[in-house]
Structure 1
Amino acid sequence: MSASTPHLRRYLGPTGLECHDYAQWVLPVHGELQFEVGGAGGHLDRLQGAFVAPGQTHDLEALGEHSCLIVDCPAGVLDDDTLEHLYRKPWLALPIEVRQRLRELPASGLVGDPLPRLLRHFAPAGSGARLQGVCMAVVSAPGLDWSVARMAAMAGVSGSRLHALFVREFGLPPLAWVGAARLRWAKRQLLGSDASLSDIAQRAGYSEQSAFTRALRRESGRTPRQWRARQ
Structure 2
Amino acid sequence: MPRGGAPAQTARMSASASIPHLRRYLRPTGLECHDHAQWVLPVHGELPFEVGGAGAHLDRLLGAFVAPGQTHDLEVLGDNCCLIVDCAAGVLDDDTLEHLRRRPWLAVPADMRQRLQGLPGSRAMGDPLPHLLRHFAPAGSGARLQGVCMAVVAAPGLDWSVARMAAMAGVSGSRLHALFVREFGLPPLAWVSAARLRWARQQLLGSDASISDIALRAGYSEHSAFARALRRESGRTPRQWRARQ
TM-score, normalised by the number of residues in structure 1: 0.53
CA distance in 2: counterparts of 1:113 and 1:77, whole angstroms: 14
Q: Which consecutive residues of structure 1, in runs of 5 or more, have no partner in the other structure?
A: 127-231
- Answer yes or no: is 1:96 the counterpart of 2:110: yes
1:68 equivalent in alignment to 2:74: no
Structure 1 residues 90 and 110, CA gap change in structure 2 (3 angstroms): farther
TM-score between both structures, scaled by the size of structure 2: 0.50
2:101 to 68, 87, 106: 87
CA-to-aligned-CA distance 1:90-143 (integer Å, 9 cap, x gap): 0000000110011010122342211000001001117xxxxxxxxxxxxxxxxx
Alignment partner of 2:53 out of 19, 39, 42? 39
Q: Specify the SS of the correspondent of 1:62.
A: coil
**Partner residue, 1:55:** 69
Aligned sequence identity (%): 80
Tell me how far apart the structure 2 counterparts of residues 109 and 53 of structure 1 sit (CA, whole Å).
28
The one-letter code of the counterpart of 1:99 is R
Q: Tell me, yes or no, if the aligned pair for 1:2 and 1:112 is still in contact at 8 Å.
A: no
**Any idea what SS the aligned residue of 1:63 has?**
coil
Structure number having the greater helix percentage: 1
State whether residues 17 and 59 of structure 1, in contact with CA within 8 Å, keep that contact through their aligned partners in structure 2: yes
- Residues 19 and 87 of structure 2 are in contact (CA less than 8 Å); yes or no, is this contact kept in structure 1? yes
Distance 1:93 1:55 in 2: 23
Structure 1 counterpart SS, 2:45: strand
**Pairing of 1:1-231 with structure 2 (within 5 A):** 2-125=16-139
Q: CA deviation at 1:12?
A: 1.0
Letter in 2 for 1:61: E
Q: Residue deviations 1:127-172, cap 9 Å, x none?
A: xxxxxxxxxxxxxxxxxxxxxxxxxxxxxxxxxxxxxxxxxxxxxx
Whole-Å separation in 1 of the counterparts to 2:29 and 2:122:
27
Unaligned runs of 5+ in 2: 1-14, 141-245
User: How many Å separate the matches in 1 of 2:125 and 2:50?
Assistant: 29
- Does the CA-based 8 Å contact 1:7-1:110 persist in structure 2? no
What RMSD in Å do the two structures reach over aligned CA positions?
Answer: 1.6
Which string of whole-angstrom CA distances, capped at 9 and with x for unpartnered residues, describes residues 166-210 of structure 1? Answer: xxxxxxxxxxxxxxxxxxxxxxxxxxxxxxxxxxxxxxxxxxxxx
Check conservation: 1:13, 1:62, Cα contact below 8 A: yes
Higher mean Cα deviation, 102-111 or 64-73? 102-111
Give the CA deviation at 1:62: 1.8
Higher relative contact order (CA 8 A, sep 6+): 1
Tell me whether 51-60 or 108-117 shows the greater mean CA deviation: 108-117
